[in-house]
Every structure is written in structure tokens, then in C-alpha cells.
A and B are shown apart, each in its own frame.
Chain A
Amino acid sequence: MTDTHWETARKLFREACMLRATGDEKGAVRILAKDMPGAVSVWMGASSRPDQEKKKQLQEMFQKEMQKVDESVELCDMMLSRFEETFALQVSTILYDFQMLLYDVFGLDTKNIRPPSAASTPPRKRPSVKKTGKKKSEDTQPQPTANQMAERLRNFKEARLRTNKNWQSILFNDLEKIIDTVLEEKPKSDKKTAKPKTKRKSTRAKTVK
């Protein structure tokens, strides 16, 4: 029974990591704040191990799951690099690869993604789709166009850059990069010779009322 509880907690955490990696911070926080504590306490209650061991096991699971998500995002980014160098026609191939990746790593439903045309990509076995219990009419949604898929990928990439520290963060003591970053934020009205090396987003904090 403890295995089931453990699996529930693990899946929830993985889902939170995925949401966070794709920019849905609120969704991730909701799971971590609302669902995870209950799942963890159920598992802790069911498990007979000492508390310290349980805590350690949890920490290890957190690390492992986060690493998995980070790795998949990394793979995705590599594919995005390919995307940037190619034409829109190839988007579907890359997206399909990404969907395969999501399926392989997370078992996520990829049924709405059509495989790329046989002419452009080698045939690849399509992942089997789990039954969701939806009616047939719900399954016949219009397929996204290449442009729509490209847009989705761009959004994903932006969200990933915004949220994944491993990719965009500057080490605390790397003052040279930090100064370059703040110089890129120099007020527009007064920009003189500053030339951004890379585009970074604002470092301004959120404000709460």
C-alpha cells in the first residue's frame, strides 16, 4: 500500500516540476501547496520506516525527479536549437520528437500530435495512447498548423528560459556577467554605447499590494 502512496506523491511532484518548467508557476505552487502535503503525509503515515529515513527518501526523490525534468528540458532545448536553424516545415518533425520525448519520459498523452510526413522524416513507431474515456467527437479536434506549433514552441522556450535556473542563472560571484546584465537594463532614454551581448529579461521584482 505504501508503494501506491509513494507513487502518488512522486507523480504529483513530477507534475509540479513539469508545470514549473513550462512556465505554469501557479499550477506548480498549487500542487506543492495543496496536493503534495496530503500525499506525503499519507505516505509517511503508512510507512513504518524511521522519520529521518523517510525524509531522506523524499529528498532523494525530489532531486531525482527534478533532474529528470531538467534533462528532458535540456534535450528539448537542443531540438529547439535545431528548429531555429531550419524552416517551418520541419517544425512538425521537431515537435513530434519532443512529444515522443514527453511520452518516453513522462508518459504524457501525445495523441493530438500528428507524426511528420513520411517524405520528410523516417518512420517511427507512434506511442500507444492511453484511453481517456472521452467521446469520439472530442478527439477530432483540428490539428495545429505549423505556425501554431512554432508559436507554441517559442512560448515553451521563453517560459523555460524564464523559469529554469540551470539555464539562465548567473553565479552570484560572476560580477562581470552581472554587470553586463544590469547594463543591458540601462534605461532606454539614456542608452549610449551599451550593446547587449545576449538578451535577458528584466531583473525587477514582482510587487505585491
Chain B
Amino acid sequence: MSTEELTQPEFPVTNDEQPEQEEPKSKPTSEPSESPVKPTSNYIILGLDLGTNTSCIQAVDSASGEEICNTVVPTIVGYADRGILAGILPGDSAELYGDEALENELHLRIARPLKDGVIEDLDAATKFVKYIRGIIDPSGKATIHAVVGVPSNADETARENVQKAVTGVFDAAILVPEPFLAAYGFRDESRLSDPTYMDPVKNSLFIDIGAGTTDYCIIQGYFPTPEDQLSMPVAGDDVDDHLENGLAEAYPETRISSNKIREYKEKYSYVGEPQYGMKVRVPVAGKPRTIDVGKQVGEACNMLLEKVFESLEKVIPMARPDSVFEMLQNIILTGGGSMIQNMPEELQRLLLESGYESPQVHVAGEDFKVFVANGALKVAQAAKPEQWANSKV
């Protein structure tokens, strides 16, 4: 390949005949919009967060910068049962993805491409990535350059699997560690001149409590090195398991599906003193029965809190000694676990009780699902042609 080829990748020209759609640029949201996809351009820049439970897709037209897609979809592939009658599944599809797969779960064999943040089922992951491509480019004609988040602890195999999953689906892909992307996505550059704005990348400790792993990342104005990061394989999915076991023990006659368990967790999760009165209806031999899940939810979440705190105590000494005091005041919780009621307060209490000076734990916000993809999109927009040329897949 000549130098010219390297520095001059093929950038398709935007289709001028395509009617322009004057839509306001929307703020990233974790809720899928009703019509998330705008007509595709010929050259698309994509920021992708392939998550264990949900994936976030942010795509823009490279030429105009106009948003093409900004949505969150469940990371699920559903395979139709053999011999299923025509008309049951939408379009009589053999495979369904995301929300459609969830809605038709009863008639599908559900596959989750990722586990603990990394690809477990490569075939399903590849299909899922193709589905994503279909969302942002239904015509299949556009050139797509993607930045994809990978967990900070992803080993060579895990990274290779991501690479394989996107090969032949996108035209170029750059894999970037998720903690960096999350911090970059969380940062609001437009407010940097605001003296009241606390720049989260100046001196902070990010704790991303995801589904498969809890990732810690010290960010002090630099691209985080391995010494700045720690990954713990205890996270939201372990809360599910703990809750499932707790409920099975307390109510042995009930059978509750994994989806319901997750639903209870997302609705009622809290840490701290036991809370009661969280009533849910479950079937017992086909008859409805109301049970209180408060105690079990609390126990499961407190287990996570303890583990998060244990690892946090290992991470804090990793920061430079002269920066620790300030960093302790900027602990930022993100990921699904950050939404657990009282999580920041309880973590702060544990830190105080353990002797740390004036710790302050903040929550990144309800838009946590989009930070990685948002960061990925920013990186993708900054990538130079020669860098994309080196990233062809």
C-alpha cells in the first residue's frame, strides 16, 4: 500500500441529492428515541459501546457532523425456535435483535454475545454488530469508521474477538479502553471556562459499576496507564445472582425468571439499612402471590457495596501521594451500579469511617449509558485519516 493510499483513505462524498432534514441536534440520552435513525450518509463516524446488557450507538455524518443515530439497545440476539408457525415473529425472521428479541423472548432462544464485559459468543456478537450496522446504515453502502470501547482488563483474546466481530462489518475500527472513553464522554468541554465547573479529568477517580465488572480508573489529566486502573469481576450481574439465591432461599416455592430478578433490582435496589415493603407479585403453581423482596434486594446490593469499597481501598494508594486528598473529593460513580439508591452516601460513609479525609462521592448521572459511546464518538471525530487507514478491518 502506498503512502498516498495510507494518508488518503476513500472518503465517499455525501449524497447531495439526499433531502436535508433540519432536525435539532439532540442531547445524548440513554432512552432510545422513537425514530433513532436518520437517513444515512455515505461516510459515517461511529462511537460504539458494546455492553454486556445494553449497547450504545452514536453515529454522525462525517461531512456535516449531523447526528445520524443516538440510541441504546439491549445486547441480545434471539434465534427463532425450529418449526415456529408463520406470523408469530415479526417478518418471520430467523433472528431478532435488541428490543425486538426481548419482546419475542418466548419464541426465541436468547443469546447474550457478551459476558463480564467481553465477547463470549463470537458468532452472536458478529451478528449483533451487523444488526448495529443495519441500524445506522440500512442501505449498507456507507463507509463506517468506528471507535469501539473495550474493557480496561480485556486481554489479547478479548480484544481479538472485538476485532473479529467488527471485521467485514465496519470499514475501520479503533479499540479504546472504556474507562478513558467514559471520562471523556462525561466531560463537558463547553463548560471548561466556567469557574464553577469541576473538570472531571483533572483529578478524579472513576468507578464504573457495570454488569460484568466494576472498573476503577484514576484520571489526573493524562491518558490512564495500567497503574491507574483496576478491574474487579464483581458487578451488577452478581447482584442478580445474589438476589436470585436470596429469594429462592426465602421463598422456595416460587420460581422467578432472570429477567424479573433484574427488573426487581433495577426498580428497588438500595444499600444501607434493610428496607421493607417492596412488594412484588410472583406466580406460585400458577396462582399469584405477593412477596416482599426488600430485605433480599438490600443484602444483594450491600454485598456489591462491600466489594466495591474493598477494591477502592486498593486503588486509592495507586494515586500519587500529593494528589490523593483532592482526588478523594472527586470520586465519580458511573454505570448501572451508580443508580443504586444511597450508593454514593454509603461509599462516602465507609471511606470516612476508614479514616479518609473529606471524601466526596458523586454520581455521573442517569445518562451513564451513553458516556462510553459519547467518548468513543469524540475520539472517532478526532482520528486522522492515516489513523483510520491503519485501522482497516
Chain A interface (Cβ within 8 Å of chain B)?
A: 13, 16, 25, 29, 32-33, 59, 62-63, 66, 162-163, 165, 168-172, 174-183, 185-190, 192-195, 201-209
Contacts and interface: CB of A to CB of B under 8 A. Distances in A.
Chain A contact residues, majority secondary structure? helix
Given A165-B222, A176-B382, A185-B159, A206 B230 contact: yes
Q: What are the 6 A-B residue pairs with the smallest beta carbon separation, nearest first?
A: A205-B229, A205-B152, A169-B222, A187-B160, A175-B382, A170-B223
B358 to A, nearest CB: 12
Given A190-B393, A193-B1, A209-B233, A182 B383 contact: no
Nearest to A162: B227
10 contacts: A32-B321, A169-B222, A172-B221, A176-B387, A178-B379, A185-B159, A186-B391, A187-B163, A202-B226, A204-B226
Contacts of B223: 169-172, 174, 177-178, 181, 203
Nearest to A191: B390
B175 interface: yes
Contact of B390 (A162, A169, A183, A203): A183
B221 A190 contact: no
Interface of B: 1, 6, 152-156, 159-160, 163-164, 167, 174-177, 179-180, 183-184, 201, 215-217, 219-227, 229-233, 311, 314, 317-318, 320-322, 378-379, 382-384, 387, 389-393
Contact of B322 (A63, A172, A185, A195): A63
A51 to B, nearest CB: 11
A63 to B, nearest CB: 6
A194 B386 CA distance: 10
Given A177-B223, A180-B387, A183-B387, 18 more contacts: A32-B317, A33-B317, A63-B322, A165-B225, A172-B201, A172-B221, A175-B382, A179-B174, A182-B174, A183-B391, A186-B391, A193-B389, A203-B177, A204-B155, A204-B226, A205-B177, A207-B231, A208-B314
Contacts of B230: 205-208
A182 B175 contact: yes
A169 B226 CA distance: 11
A209 to B, nearest CB: 7
Contacts of A165: 220, 222, 225, 320
A208 B1 CA distance: 43
Given A178-B223, A204-B152, A16 B321 contact: yes
A170 B222 contact: yes
A183 B174 contact: yes
Nearest to B156: A187
A194 B174 CA distance: 11
B385 to A, nearest CB: 12
Nearest to A166: B222
Contact of A208 (B159, B177, B217, B311): B311
Contacts, number: 139
Given A13-B321, A187-B160, A206 B229 contact: yes
A179 B221 contact: no
Nearest to B179: A205
A145 to B, nearest CB: 32
A66 B177 contact: no
Contact of B177 (A32, A182, A188): A182
Contacts of A13: 321
Contacts of B317: 29, 32-33
Most chain B CB within a 10 A radius of its CB, from A179, A194, A205: A205
Contacts of B220: 165
Contacts of B231: 205-208
Contacts of B225: 162, 165, 168-169, 201, 203
Nearest to B224: A203
A20 to B, nearest CB: 9
